[in-house]
Structure formats: C-alpha cells, structure tokens
Structure 1
Amino acid sequence: MATRDFLQQQLSSHAQDTAGSLSHDLATSLSRNDLVLAEVQLSSVFDRGYYQKIILFDVYGKKLVSKELPLKVDNVPLPFSSLLQLQTPPGEAFISEGWRQLGKIVVINQPTFAYQFLWDSFKQQAGLMLLMYSLVFFLTMWLLKIILRPLSLIEHTALDIQNKRFNQILELPNSREFRRVVSAMNSMSSKISEMLSAETSKAEAFRAEAYTDKVTGLDNRKAFDLRLNALLQEDGGFSSGYLIVLEFDGLKEFNHEHGYQEGDQLLADVIKIALSCSELQIGISGRIGGTAFGFVGFDVLSNVIDSEFKALQRKLIGFIEHFSAKNLSFNLGCVHFSAGQTRGELFAKVDLALETARQNGRNVAINFNLADENKIAEGSSGWRALIQSALSEKRWALFTQPVFNLTAQDVFQHEIFSRLIDQQGNFISAALFLPMAMRHQLMTDIDKAVISLVIDQMNSLGYMEANVAVNVSAQSIESESFREWLGEKLVSSQDAGSRLSFELSEFGCGKNMPSTMSFIALLRSYGVLVGFDHFGLAPGSLDLLRKVVPDYIKLDSGLVDAALESEQAQLHLRSVILLANALDVKVIAQNVESAKIKDWLINERIIFGQGYFLSPLARM
C-alpha cells in the first residue's frame, strides 16, 4: 500500500510538472491564435507514450486540442491490476500572457510503468517473504520434531505394548513433564515384561521337569517320542529323515569304578560330540534310555548322512580311548526313513541296526537304508509328474473341519485340508503327496493353487462368515517370489483376505526366523490372522510365542495326551495356556476325539477345540 501511494504521488507530480512546462510553451501559440502550432507542441510531448490524456481548453472551457490513448497495462496480470488500482490525478496549469488568461492545459499520466514497477516490487517482496516463511516453517518443524520426539517415542512404545512387545525408551527427554511420562511408560513396560518373563520361566521350569533329562539337558524319552510322532504325523513337514541311536555298554561298570559324577560328565561330553556334527542338522535329540540317545534330522542328503555317521563313529572311538575303562564301548545304529512311516517302524529298524552292530564287535556303527533307491527314484518321478499335472489341470479338492467354541458350540474357524485328485478321480491325502512335493520343490506352487482355490470358494460361498485357516509350507515362507505373489493376491481379494488365517508349523518357523518374521509382517499388513500349528513341543516354543505373538496357537495333541497322564505335563500345559492368555493369544486344542477330552479341556479353560468328536471333515 505504501508503494502504491508513493507511485500515485509520483504520477500526480509528473502530470503537474508536464502541465506547467506545456503552459509556458503554449502561451506563445495561443496568443497568436495558432492552434496548429499548439497541436504540434502537444503532440511532441504526448507521443512519448507516458500520457493517457492531454487536453487544451480555452478560457471558456471549450476543448481546443485533445490527445487521448486508452488505458493499457502491459505485462501485469489483470487480477493484480484490478485489485490494486492506481489513481492518476490530472495535472492542470493555466496559460496566460501577462495579466491576460488564454486557456488551461490538463495532463493525465498513463499508469503502465507504475503498474509494472508495482508488479515487479510485489514479486520481489513476495519472493523474499516466501523464502522467509519457508525458512521459518522448516525451522519451526525442526524445533517441533525435537520438542515432540518424546511423544513419538511414547506412541511407538504404546503401539509395541499393544502388539505385545515390551520395549524401553532409552532416550529420556529433557522436559520434566515428558521425562515423567516416559519414565512411567518404561516402568509399566518393564513390569509387564518382567511378569511375562516370570511366567515364561515358570513354564520352562515345568517343561524341564516334565520333558527334559536332568543329566544331559536333552529331551527325555517322553518328549522325544512326542516330538517325533508330531513330525511324522505333520503333512508336508519333511520329505526324508534319519534316526541315529547311540547306545553305551559298560557304563554301569564305569560308574562303579570312576563315580557317577564322572559318568554323567562322560555322557555330557559325548552329547557335545554328537551335536557338533553340524552337517547332520539334528532337529530332535533326546535320552531315550539309561545309556541310549536318539538323534533325528530331516531333509539331509543320504551321502551327507553316511559321511557324518562315519565321522561320528571315529570321534567317539577317539574319545573313549582316553579312558582306561576296558569294558566301555558303544553301538551306533542309523536308519534312513521317508514321510509316512510310523515311530514303531523306525525303532524296529534301528533296533535291528543296533543288534547287528552289537554282534559285530565293539564300537561298531551300522547304517541301514532299507529303502530301495531305484524304487524311490521311480516313485519320486511318478509323484512329480502327478503333482505337476494336477497343478496344470487344477485337480484339487478342499475339505474343511470347523474349530468350535467348546462352551458356546459356535464355529470360530474353518481349517482347510487339501486333497490331490488323480486322473481317475480318486482323492490322494496330503500325507502321501506332500513329501514328494517338498523333495521336488513344488510346495510353493501347491500353496498358490490351494490359496487361490480357497479365495475363489470364499467369494462364491457367501454363507461362510467364520474365519478360514490355510496351512503354508516352510518353502513358501522362505520364497520371496511367493510373498510378492501373496501380497498381490490379498490386494485383489480384500474381502476374502480379511477373513483368512495362515497357519505356520512350529517346526517350519524355526528353520528360518528372518523369513518367518518377514512373512508374518506381510500378513499383518493386510489384516490376515497368524496361527502356529502343532505348538508347544519344541524347547524354544515359549520364546517363539513371545517373539512373534501370533493371533492363536493350536496345541499339539501330544501335549494334551501327556497332560491327561502326568501331573508335571499338566503343569507345563497350564503354564503355556496362562502365558498365551497373558499375551491375548487364543488357544485351540487339536484332536479332540472324546467327550472325556472335551470336558477336561473345558475344565482347563481351553475355549476352542477341533477334532473328529466335534465334527468330521466336509467337502468345501
């Protein structure tokens, strides 16, 4: 506004100066009554382009000469010139000769240059103000970020607590008020974490009492059998495996001669030697008898097993030679097996291997691979062709089994079971084709086919409002391309995706934790529920539960069976349930096969159950 007033004053002054100057020049022409000369004098000034109007009047106000141009404003936006209009006051001067008045001259300036100057000034000031405002804005945001950083940390910590992760805010703010809030948040998180740690320790103590050998720290016979049975019964858990049994002779005499403490130390050292065979990838290890130990691994190449088995024999011989006990010796038996075999079959074969070793002398190792490799290769090739044709022709059938609320009797979830359909239209159980699918790296393709079919069925069956659970293999969890495919599938099927759960086996999760965490983060970003299947048998189960915090767990049936028979196993199961409830994780019991088991579960406050006693499988 000040600039505009200044320009208007300049325009007025300039017009007045021009009028005064012209009045002197025009006095001569008007005194002679020479209008032509007067017009020439006016034109010489007007043609410069600085004026809008120059008018010459006689003494009676009659217009003698008039020069006019329309108002024009160049290179200035019309809204700007309309908003900030400039007044152009006329400059006037009387023309006289001596005391005689001859006329009057009126000059009005053209405001073009004033508008241009005002527009340029506005742009410069606006640019400077914008720069200053931007600088102030960013400085303000930076200061606010520093000031409000404690609030951001508090928010993240609150979200972590909501997600059952009890972290501490290490950076304490300088502000007294924020410091008190952060300290209170840390205290609350610490107390909850300590409470859960206490429950975890209690559960681990109960587990150790019920399922751990006190001398070696390995699983006892009960735990070994439960874990082995669970993996043998799990569909698609592995394609091949091995069982090694180490049995000592003369340990009783060694204890009498050297003392039980030395005997226990010998066993502990032997276990270290066995577990040091990293290529064996031992998944289950336990003390299955007084002087017998079992080791189980999965999906290890046969030639690797043979080589490591011989190396283990050499290490044990070298270790025993350090002792003077003549009667101390060992027998080693190894049996290769494939999916679908039972625990009884495995131990019958390994007992034969041990007896053969015993009859062949001291420190003998017998490795039995009772399967015909040629037949396995032929069968494997046939299975691969069958699975690939089922994938290309989409020959799959889906069956469901509901998970019930045991007290309300309503359906909480439907678990999906897949069956392959052969060329004759027969259903083939997953327990038969999944091991071969794992061997030929086809599990990812099968999971894609089943998930696509499940989502299509969910979209067409509007009545299925309960959650639908689909099992996902470890191969798919580890596959980055599968995770990308699944993300795209969930985006395109949001309605079905919001009613989906994906179940991961406890055994599969432990194989590759980074991939497992990445996969679970993907599922949760789309609102998909996460569950752990066959949960509770592995030594690290409770750590996994606290680290991941799934939406639900399905207890392995062996835990429930053991709890029905043993008070120690019952205490362990109760501690698992208590920890799960503290983390707001739902607990589901599997293989509910009788009214007795159902009533016991209800009495133990296990709300959800699944099994043939409650409902058989049904075609989806």
Structure 2
Amino acid sequence: MRDCKLLEQLMLAMESSSLCVRVNAQGQIVWISEMLKQLDTQQAFSTGMPLSKLLHADMRGQLLDQFDYSVAQQSHWQGTIKLSLGNRRPDWFKAIYVPLYDDEQCLQEQILMLQDISREVFLDELLNETRFDHTTGLPTRVDLIADIKRVNTQTVAIIDIRKFRSYADFYGLEFGDRLLLNFSESCKAFFYPRHINMYRLYGDKFALLPSFRMVPALFEQQLQRFYAHIIDHHIEVNGANVALDIAIGMGVGKAKLLQLAESALARAKTVFSGQRIHVVNEREFSASNSINWLPKIQSAIKNNRFINYYQPIRSSNGQRPDYFEALVRMRDGDKDIPPGFFLDKAKTTRYYPEITRRVVEQAVVHSAEYDVQISVNVSIEDILNSETVAFISDQLEAYPQSRLIFEITETESTEDFSMVDEFTRRVRSLGAEIAIDDFGVGYSNFSRLIQLRPDYLKIDGSIIKNILEDASSASILNGMISICRELKIPMVAEFVETEQVNGYLTEQQIEFLQGYYIGRPSPDIIKLN
C-alpha cells in the first residue's frame, strides 16, 4: 500500500513539472499538464477533443500512423513533432509516445511526453538563411570557413569577374544578378564533378575549395582547365552571349588561406597575364615579411613596451553607455607596431601569455582610474592557460571598481567547451561581462551560443565592409539581427569606415558601432573619453 502511495506521488510530481498529455483508448484527450496549458496561450485544445487536432496538419497523418504502429507492436515511439497551439511560430517538440495496457493487453491509455525545442528550431532556421546566397543559391562565407576547418585543406582559390560592375551599370542590376547566377551554374557544372565546391563571398567574388585534401598542384591544374573552359564557353544571359574575363588567385598554406588567396587575387587583377593562375604560398608570403620577431618580443616584455591603445565603441542611439576596446601595440623606438605583425608569431612562443596579461593589467587599471568600460580580447589559448585565468581573476579582485568585457574569439577551435563556460562564469562572478567576437563566420552551433548567453555579439568585419554593395552580406546581417533580437543580445558592428555605412547600421538599429568613422585607436584614453 505504501508503494502505491509513493508511486502516486511520483506520478503527480512528474506530471506537474512536465509537458504531458494523457489520451484515452479512443484517442480523446483526458488530461493536460499545467505547463503545457501555459504554452497554449490561444487555448487551442482542451480535454475531450481528439488528439489528432493537437497535431499539426503537416505531420498529422504520419504521426497517427506511427502511434497506431506502436500500439500494435506494444512499444513506445520517440521523435520530433509539431503541434498546433495557435502561436505565431510553429511549436516544435521532442516527443515520447507510450501506450499503456491492462492485464489482458488491451489499450487503456496513451501518454505523450514533450520537450519544447521551438526556440532551437527557429534559431537554426535563421542561421540557414545566412548560409546561402539569395542570388545564386550558393553557400556563403559562413559555410566556407566551417568547411576549411572540416576538410583541413591546404589550398583555396578566389575567382573575380573582371569589370563586372560595367555590365551591371550598363544593363541594369537585374541583368547583373542573372549574370552571376548563370556564371555560378556554369562553374558548378565544371567544378562539382571534379570534387571542388563553390561559395559566394561578396559582389562578383567566388571561392573554390576542394572537398578533400587535394594536392595544390592538382587543384591549380583544375583551375587552369576552368580558365580555358570559360574562354571557350560564353555565358548566356537573357538571350545574349557574354564573353567573360576572369582573374583567379590561389592561396597555399596551413593558415589564413583566404588572406593568401585574396593577396594572390590582388596580384592577378593588377595586370592582365593571360590564363595564368596567380599563387601565393604561405612560406613565400612569410619570407617577404621575414623579420625576426622573437628578440623584439623578448625585449618588449623585459622593458614594458607592450602598451594598450583604445578604440571607442559608440552607442548608435545614445541610450547605452559607450565603451572602449583595448588593442595591444608593441613600442619599437618611435613606432607603435600593430598586433598583426607580431601576435601570431608570439602565439608560437612561451611569451604570448605574458602579452595577454600586460593587456589585461593595463585595461583593469585604466578602467578603474577613468571610470570607463573596456573590452579585452581573449583567445582559446588564454582560456586554456590556468595561470592566465588566475591572473585575470586576481586583477579583477584587486580592482573591483573596474568594468571589463572579455571578447572571446575562436570558440569553435576547442572541443573542451566546458573550459570556456567555466571561464565566463568565473569572470562574471567578479563583475565582468562577455562578448563573442567575429560572430557570423563559422558560428553554426547555437547550443553553445545559448549556453554562453553573451552580453554582446560582435559582427565579423568582413560582413560590414561589403554591406552596402553585397546583397549576401546584407542578408547575413538581417539573419543575425533576428537572432540577436530573439535572444535579446546587443550587437556591435566593426569596420564602420564611412558615413554611409554608419547611417545604414544606425537605421538597422545595431546597438554599438566601431571603426575609423567612429574613432581611431589612441594610447590616450582621456582624449577619447
């Protein structure tokens, strides 16, 4: 008797804290949990009505067949279902369907237990909108970055249509879009059978990436064949044959492949060199900038010559407080050298953690001294370094009046995401906030985004740079705006270089703006404040 009483209490506790529906053997709803009633704001269903009316019409027939099969087999069913709760968006749930029988194996009741996943489905749909270019249907830079990591490729190419703007200016924008579409179709017909994928970057620029780790010499050979192919085959647009001239740049290396390919394309566009494929190799690129940085880094650490510059980040509507981003510089004589020259080299040495600590130390002191909020970039290397994390904690505790934001980069480059989560919890407990940097490139895992719940999202600068000329960049931005509005996370746009871009982003109600138009980095935070 006592066991029955405990079982009754257990069932009551489970039913009151879950999304659950009980249905009799005739298929009529006999009980609805309170939590599910709260989701049914339109009072779309009630006891006594058939279960079939609760199921969305798109899936109703399929689900009822699944339930009947489970009853016949005396087994449960689990999967994803969509319900008709009368809400603005579809209501998606993970579901477990369990038929219950009496001692004679006759069906007595049916239980449907649910887990609401509508938010995750909605965010995935928004992301999917940013992954494909509206004009050509090609995947965008978002997928390209992810595929470069997945394939672990050693080569990427970029194609540019020479003088494309003259076609659009002369024949109109609709003709230009049709030309891009037909060109992309011609490219796909040539490259896809050769295991090479194509992506729309922006404007008339397309990226090419092998679907496996292809030898660079073979990839260059395929590009050469395509060059000859496009010369022999004109592109048909609205009944007219267009003879296109293209430029191709190819990057080869282990890192920064897009940067190498862009550099190669820039060379290809400088002069017309027939059907030549311009190639920039990482080793050659590094050799052209072959300064021995190690002694300079050692000397700068020893003599405290790593200093912070600060760039203002302005509220677009004045309703939020402005803040500043700390940008490290290495003082060398009368020059302050930007991090692009030395930071990647420093990451391969034991001196990199010391640079991060110098930046954090100055930011904490200046934030407390001048009563301003300052953001600091931290990489996965920083977060995985226990001594660096301990140093950051000590500094925040020593200056409780400081207000810091930690911009986390490369969150997809580590499988141990728990360390990132632990870092964010630790610094937040000490009064700091969290931003995700370079959002829009490669961030396909929304469960991580939701788990971190950042205080700010910084839009990748490559999207903002082309926002006025490139429809795909605008589409990606619109998708991210929808995501951030849904999650109630303010956005920060980098690379705001002109009045036109500033005006456009302000109209889109991007909360914070950063770039040379807003203000250049300066070592003197007093003048900026």
TM-score tier, shorter chain, comes to 0.5 to 0.7
Tell me if structure 2 keeps the 8 A contact 1:211–1:223: no
2:284 corresponds in structure 1 to 371
Q: Deviations over 1:26-57 (max 9, x none)?
A: xxxxxxxxxxxxxxxxxxxxxxxxxxxxxxxx
> Which residues of 2 match residues 182-581 of structure 1 at below 5 A?
182-183=18-19, 184=34, 194-210=117-133, 214=137, 218-219=139-140, 243-245=155-157, 267-268=191-192, 270-271=194-195, 286=199, 294-295=208-209, 310=215, 313=218, 334-336=251-253, 344-348=262-266, 368=281, 371=284, 379=291, 382-408=292-318, 411-422=321-332, 424-459=333-368, 461=369, 463-464=370-371, 466-496=372-402, 499-505=403-409, 508-513=410-415, 514=417, 515-538=419-442, 540=444, 542=446, 544-567=448-471, 569-581=473-485
Task: Quote the offset at 1:453 in angstroms.
Answer: 1.8
The number of residue pairs the alignment matches comes to 377
Tell me if structure 2 keeps the 8 A contact 1:396–1:420: yes
Q: Deviations over 1:487-542 (max 9, x none)?
A: 3333333332xx1111022xx11111424334333333433211012211326165
Code of the aligned partner of 1:345: S
Code of the aligned partner of 2:284: A
Code of the aligned partner of 1:520: T
Q: Deviations over 1:226-283 (max 9, x none)?
A: x79xx9xxxxxxxxx9643399xxxxxxxxxxxx99x969855644xx79xxxxxxxx
Q: Deviations over 1:142-196 (max 9, x none)?
A: xxxxx9xxxxxxxxxxxxxxxxxxxxxxx99726367324445578798796442
Tell me if structure 2 keeps the 8 A contact 1:212–1:218: no
2:16 to 171, 176, 180: 180
**Alpha carbons of 1:486 and 1:186: their partners in 2 closer, same or farther (altered >3 Å)?**
farther
- 1 CA distance for matches of 2:380 and 2:460? 18
SS at match of 1:574: helix
- 1 CA distance for matches of 2:375 and 2:280? 41
SS at match of 1:564: coil
**Alpha carbons of 1:438 and 1:292: their partners in 2 closer, same or farther (altered >3 Å)?**
same
- 1 CA distance for matches of 2:338 and 2:280? 31
> Which residues of 2 match residues 8-19 of structure 1 at below 5 A?
none
- 2 CA distance for matches of 1:312 and 1:552? 43
1:598 to 502, 506, 525: 502
Task: Quote the offset at 1:486 in angstroms.
Answer: 2.6
- 1 CA distance for matches of 2:280 and 2:461? 32
Tell me if structure 2 keeps the 8 A contact 1:590–1:609: yes
Structure 1: 5+ residue runs without aligned partners?
1-146, 148-170, 232-240, 248-259, 276-284, 297-304, 321-326
Tell me if structure 2 keeps the 8 A contact 1:478–1:512: no
Q: Deviations over 1:395-447 (max 9, x none)?
A: 1222212222211276332111121112x242111222212212335322210
Tell me if structure 1 keeps the 8 A contact 2:249–2:265: no
Q: Deviations over 1:93-139 (max 9, x none)?
A: xxxxxxxxxxxxxxxxxxxxxxxxxxxxxxxxxxxxxxxxxxxxxxx
- 1 CA distance for matches of 2:327 and 2:400? 22
% identity of equivalent residues: 17
SS at match of 2:329: strand
Higher helix share: 1
Q: RMSD value over aligned CA atoms?
A: 5.0
- 2 CA distance for matches of 1:172 and 1:509? 46
> Which residues of 2 match residues 81-230 of structure 1 at below 5 A?
174=10, 176=12, 179-183=15-19, 184=34, 194-210=117-133, 214=137, 218-219=139-140
Code of the aligned partner of 1:205: N
TM-score by length of 2: 0.57
Tell me if structure 2 keeps the 8 A contact 1:477–1:519: yes
Tell me if structure 2 keeps the 8 A contact 1:441–1:475: no
- 1 CA distance for matches of 2:456 and 2:122? 18
**Alpha carbons of 1:559 and 1:426: their partners in 2 closer, same or farther (altered >3 Å)?**
closer
Code of the aligned partner of 1:346: A
Matched, 1:584 2:488: yes
Structure 2: 5+ residue runs without aligned partners?
1-5, 20-33, 40-90, 94-115, 160-183, 226-231, 233-247
Q: Which has the larger radius of gyration?
A: 1
Code of the aligned partner of 2:252: V
Code of the aligned partner of 2:309: F
SS at match of 1:560: helix
- 2 CA distance for matches of 1:575 and 1:490? 35
SS at match of 1:481: helix
Task: Quote the offset at 1:372 in angstroms.
Answer: 7.9
Tell me if structure 2 keeps the 8 A contact 1:213–1:219: no
- 2 CA distance for matches of 1:610 and 1:529? 18
**Alpha carbons of 1:332 and 1:602: their partners in 2 closer, same or farther (altered >3 Å)?**
closer
SS at match of 2:345: helix
- 1 CA distance for matches of 2:249 and 2:401? 56
- 2 CA distance for matches of 1:533 and 1:447? 16
Task: Quote the offset at 1:351 in angstroms.
Answer: 9.1
- 2 CA distance for matches of 1:176 and 1:206? 43
SS at match of 2:375: strand
Code of the aligned partner of 1:511: S
Tell me if structure 2 keeps the 8 A contact 1:443–1:475: no
